[in-house]
Amino acid sequence: MRLDKFLGQFDIGTRKQIKEYLKNGRCSVNGTVVTKPDIHVDENTDEISFDGNVLEYSKYHYYMLYKPQGVVSATTDGRNTTVLDLLQDENAKGLSPAGRLDIDTEGLLLLTDDGGLIHRLLSPKKHVDKVYEVHLDHELSDKDIAALEKGVNIGDTKDTGEIDYTLPARVELWDADEEGRPVVHLIIHEGRFHQVKRMMEAVGNEVLFLKRLSMGPLKLDESLVPGEYRPLSAEELKQLGV
């Protein structure tokens, strides 16, 4: 990789600015000051420093975000704050959310430029568990739970015109919230539009608060507050198979 291209990935400056920085001797490769932008470096083995700081190269980037309510799960939006807007201190170029959370839903969101991982997490064929904390208007009956765990009609149809029932889910009863409303954990394997809300509507209930707790092996770091994010740890990356 050309040195100027490598440096450009760290949001150091424009290519013209980087060329000037190199002329001024601000970059070194394996301890030797380099002034030419077109030399080639091995981003995986060479130690490249800028202003004395070693730059760690990574082909892909992975961030866990505690998405707050009022923020859209999009890369650009003309009216609302996006999840990428929250990563103000990072070079967010190329990052995308792995799945979407409704604007009034909070919780775990993975932001990455690793398209392969996004596909593996979102493909219904992979049956990746997505766990949601759901606060409801009233308690689910045994009949409601049985229906959700079998699959419900949320208004979707297949190409043949047949009802496209949701895949079997799992319902775990939880404690009531501070206002006495019943809380359940709902585990699904799909990501249809407004799916959790529509599933509860299908059994005559209403979602009053919704939070995603986990996606596959990745669990929301509860030390984060809504709007905060952090890079994934080495252990989390290992669990995700990257």
Query: Side-chain half-sphere of 21: how many Cα atoms within 13 Å?
Result: 18
The active-site residue out of 77, 85, 102, 113 is 102
Q: How far apart are CA 208 and CA 139, in angstroms?
A: 12
Handedness of CA 220, 222, 223, 227 (dihedral sign): positive
Hey, which residues does 93 pair with through a beta bridge?
A: none
Q: Is the dihedral of CA 227, 79, 121, 194 positive or negative?
A: positive
CA distance 30 to 15: 22
Strands (E), the chain: 27-29, 32-33, 48-50, 53-54, 62-67, 96-97, 106-112, 130-136, 170-173, 183-188, 207-215, 218-219, 229-231
Q: How many residues does the chain have?
A: 242
Q: Is 33 in a helix, a strand, or coil?
A: strand
Residue/partner pairs of 53-60 with CB below 8 Å, 24 or more apart: 55/6, 55/7, 55/10, 57/6, 57/9, 60/112, 60/113, 60/114, 60/117, 60/242
Residue 102 is a catalytic residue: yes
Question: Annotated active-site positions, please?
Answer: 102
